[in-house]
Amino acid sequence: MIGCRCPVCRSDDPRDKRTRSSIYLSMPEFKILVDTTPDLRHQALREDLDRAYAVLFTHPHADHLMGFDDLRRFCEMQGGPLPIYGSEATLAQIERTFPYAFNPAKKVPGYVHVIPHVITGPFELGGLEITPLPVPHGAVSTLGFLFSQAGRKLLVYLSDCAAVPDPIRELARGADVLIIDGLREKPHPTHLNVSGAVEAAQAIGAGQSFITHQTHEKSHVDRTQELPPGIGVAYDGMKFEFELH
Ligand SMILES: [Zn+2]
Ligand SMILES: [Zn+2]
Ligand SMILES: [Zn+2]
């Protein structure tokens, strides 16, 4: 946190350097970015990303969107417009915020240029089945995502949610990995707190679960110690490998 001198913000543990929440899926032939945080440029440089063939958006809050203009570099490297996916409301908000990206007269290179795709149900990208998981997040709804392959639930990403409704728990049940919002200890009107995230994670019963979107309240080590077995804390640069068939 800017200007904060707390032990977590001053920690030397790289897992305490928390940038804004985002994930990246890398398959041999296809690369998917989820959200364009204000930290996207730094995150992409840190992880040496040079491709993003599609971008999914969970919701249009500033902490998940404001790195959007940095997609221009991916357009430039790939030589054309970039397909983006989100709910109708999310795509409309992105177009209001970055109208030039939707204007075919503003061409690659030089400008970010996107082709919007409204998510209305499950779809496929790069050999993955992607199931949208709508979850409440205050005034807006967030889309979580279930990524499956050949019928196997690999990863569930539930960022920014105040609750996980039963039908969503059912869809997520039995995934290999769950990443779920768990902002802080105190309840929050639009985010799950840590105990809410633990309750939902235990109900979903993924092989491994990790809480994300953490504030600077607790260090990685301290937070990890108080979580039950099978639930950990996500950190910047954390990687999972999945076997694809
Ligand atoms: Zn701090
Ligand atoms: Zn949000
Ligand atoms: Zn957020």
pLDDT at position 109 is 87
**What is the rounded end-to-end Cα distance, in angstroms, of the chain?**
42
Q: Which CATH number does the domain housing residue 212 bear?
A: 3.60.15.10
pLDDT in tens, 131-176: 999 999 999 999 999 999 999 999 999 999 999 999 999 999 999 9
pLDDT in tens, 58-99: 999 999 999 999 999 999 999 999 999 999 999 999 999 999
The answer to whether residues 92 and 132 belong to one domain is: no
Question: How many A from CA of 202 to the centre of ligand 3?
Answer: 22
pLDDT at 114 over 90: yes
The answer to whether residues 82 and 34 belong to one domain is: yes
Q: Which of 142, 125, 37, 133 lies closest to 82 in space, CA to CA?
A: 125
Question: How many A from CA of 1 to the centre of ligand 1?
Answer: 5
Q: Give the closest ligand to the alpha carbon of residue 16.
A: 1
The per-residue DSSP string of 115-182 comes to: EEEE--S-EEETTEEEEEEEEEETTEEEEEEEEEETTEEEEEEE-S-S---HHHHHHHTT-SEEEEE-
pLDDT in tens, 45-59: 999 999 999 999 999
pLDDT at position 245 is 86
Number of domains forming the structure of the chain: 2
Sign of the alpha-carbon torsion through 177, 183, 186, 192: negative
| pLDDT, the chain, mean | 97
> Which residues place a Cβ less than 5 A from the ion ligand 2?
61, 160
pLDDT in tens, 166-202: 999 999 999 999 999 999 999 999 999 999 999 999 9
pLDDT at 15 over 90: yes
Question: Of 120, 143, 177, which closes a domain?
Answer: 120
The answer to whether residues 107 and 184 belong to one domain is: no
- What range does the domain containing 32 cover? 20-120
Six-digit token pair at 63? 């902490």
* Pairing verdict, β 23-26 and 31-34: antiparallel
Q: Give the closest ligand to the alpha carbon of residue 183.
A: 3
Spatial distance between the Cα atoms of 207 and 224, rounded to a whole number of angstroms: 17
- On whether residue 34 sits in a domain, the answer given is yes
pLDDT at position 222 is 98
The answer to whether residues 100 and 30 belong to one domain is: yes
Question: How many A from CA of 13 to the centre of ligand 1?
Answer: 14
pLDDT at position 195 is 98
Query: Residue 42, Cα to own-chain centre: how many angstroms?
Result: 16
Q: Give the closest ligand to the alpha carbon of residue 18.
A: 1
Q: Give the closest ligand to the alpha carbon of residue 142.
A: 2
